[in-house]
Amino acid sequence: MKAIEPPPAATSHADIDLFDLFHSYWKQKKLIAATTVVAGGVALAYALLAQPVYLASSVLRPAAINELDALNRSEVYKLPPKEALLKVGSALESYDTRLNFFRDHQELFKPLEKDGISLEQSFEIFNRDAIHLTQPDPKKADSLSPFIRLELTYPDTVNGVQILNGFVEYAINNQREQISADLKVIINNRLRELEEKINAARSGYHADKEGKIATLVEADTLQRAKLKDELKALRLQLRTERDDRIAQLNEAISIASSLGIVHPTTPSAMADAAQGSSSSVMRTEITSQSIPLYFMGTKALQAERAALLKRTSDDFTDKKISDIGRQLQLLEVNRQVEMLTKRSNEDLFLKNIEPLRAEVVRLGNLRTDMSHLGLVNIDRKAQTPISPIKPKKAIIVILGLFLGGLLGMGIATARYFQGRRRQSLKSSV
């Protein structure tokens, strides 16, 4: 029996004739061309029908020093240009600021509203994907000065330039209002603090004045009491001296009466009278002892005693009493106390408050309206772009043609291998 030989093995796919393959491509050139044209047409249609997306950008740089000079010279609020730029940048990056801008300018975002999506949801998508804020890398010296770049990608149905410029202006105004509010609070706190210091000085002045008045009144009262005591003691002393003098006169009158002395005389004259001496003799008597009072004679002594008994006051006998009276009269009214109590504007007499008052006037004259404060320099405002950033029509068409060509060649290759397989099956039969 003759052995049956197996059919020859099919040609391996590895044994591909490249020339034959390219020849197959040439035969199917219409198919490849048609696929390329169709794909290119689809790409062109997409490029023409796709919604254009534009890019607008704005660049902010630090303001000039003279823009913030008045604010910094106020000695109340310090804001260097770089910090002002950072404040505006923080406002631009703040979600709250963006949301408030959206709520205040909803007419600008109306084109974003779609079916099934609320305007707020559209804003969320817009805020997340469309607004981008960039700053220079401090490690790279790609800019001579710090800056903030704000970019906005938007469809052609939205006025992105107006939104971006309006948002930048809104953020700047928001920071101006915040600075103005902060400045008002700081000034009011300073004024309140200064007023408290002035009130403290005023209270201290009143306490000092009352203490001074009390000290003066107390000193006058004490001096008056001392003078009255001294006057009383002095009058008692004079009364005692008058009584003592009357007692001496009584005693002298008694002695003079017993001696028969009526008129003033001396011991020598009495001796001469007793001896009968001539009255024409004049004697000069020198003695170191005082002559007893009774030698004055009863007539003179009785006259003096009568005068002393009629006396109602001894004040005129001592000059010191008049001095004490004068001092008491001066103490009736203390002119210093009177002037202290009659002060009408006591603030004029407060000490060490002139700088405080000057500061109050200075703070009161400070401007708190920051509506025209130049916080930043808008180096470049957003301008209407010349062309959209996408779709890239040329790239899309080229990519469509390329993919269409690849698709056509793929189809041609598949048909080529399918044809070879059929030929192999026919030859094996």
pLDDT digits (tens, 9 = 90+) for 80-122: 888 989 999 899 888 888 888 888 888 888 877 776 777 777 7
Residue 236's pLDDT band (boundaries 50, 70, 90)? very high
Cβ proximity of 393 and 105 under 8 Å:
no
408 close to 42: Cβ distance less than 8 angstroms:
no
Q: What is the pLDDT of residue 293?
A: 86
CA-closest candidate to residue 263, choices 296, 307, 302, 306: 296
401 and 319 within one domain: no
What pLDDT is attached to residue 268? 75
Residues 311 and 399 in one domain: no
Residues 344 and 257 in one domain: yes
First to last CA, the chain: 22
- Nearest-5° Cα angle at 179, 145 to 354: 115
**What does the mean pLDDT of the chain come to?**
82
The CATH number of the domain where 313 resides is what? Answer: 3.30.1890.10
Cis peptide preceding 391, ω within 30 of 0 = yes
| CB contact at 8 A, 183 and 371 | no
- Regarding whether 395 and 313 lie in a shared domain, the answer is no
d(CA 233, CA 21): 154
pLDDT more than 70, % of the chain? 88
Does the residue 45 lie in any domain?
yes
Tell me how far apart the alpha carbons of residues 322 and 8 are, in angstroms, rounded to a whole number: 167
DSSP 3-state helix, strand, coil percentages of the chain (rounded to 5)? Answer: 65, 5, 30
- Asked if residue 397 and residue 312 are part of one domain, the reply reads no
Out of 174-183, 334-343, 370-379, give the one with best mean pLDDT: 174-183
Cα–Cα distance for residue pair 139/236, rounded to 1 Å: 104
Angle between helical axes of 160-259 and 319-330 (0-180°, round to 10): 160
**62 within domain boundaries:** no
Distance, C-alpha 165 to centroid of its chain: 33
pLDDT reported for residue 406: 83
Domain that holds residue 40: 22-50+390-405
pLDDT in tens, 325-359: 889 888 888 888 888 888 888 878 888 888 888 88
Return the bridge partners of 111, or none: none
pLDDT band with cut points at 50, 70 and 90 for residue 292: confident
Residue 220 lies in a domain: yes
Q: What's the token pair of residue 404?
A: 């269409």
Q: Specify whether 296 is located in the same domain as 397.
A: no
Contacts of residue 106, defined as CB under 8 A and 6 or more positions apart, other chains included, come to 119
**Confidence band (pLDDT; 50, 70, 90) for 153?**
confident
Do both 401 and 356 map to the same domain?
no
**Considering the domain boundaries, does residue 225 fall inside one?**
yes
Comparing 405 with 359, the larger pLDDT belongs to 359
Does one domain contain both 247 and 396? no
Residue 97 lies in a domain: no
With CA atoms as reference, report the closest residue to 395 among 49, 44, 56, 53: 44
Tell me phi and psi for residue 132, to 5 degrees. -135, 130
Would residue 333 count as lying in a domain? yes
CA atoms in the 13 A half-sphere facing the CB of 299:
6
The pLDDT of residue 137: 66
Q: Using alpha carbons, list the distances in angstroms from residue 136 to 80, 144, 152, 380.
A: 19, 10, 18, 16
Say whether both 247 and 324 belong to one domain: yes
Q: Are residues 357 and 394 in the same domain?
A: no
**Whether residue 308 is found in the same domain as residue 224:** yes
If asked whether residues 297 and 351 sit together in one domain, one would say: yes
Total domain count, the chain: 2
In a domain, 280, yes or no: no
Task: Tell me the pLDDT band of 2, cut-offs 50, 70 and 90.
Answer: very low
What's the rounded mean pLDDT across residues 16-21? 70
Tell me the pLDDT tens digit for each residue of 186-212.
Answer: 999 999 999 998 889 888 888 998 999
More confident residue, 252 or 1: 252
Judge whether 146 lies within some domain: no
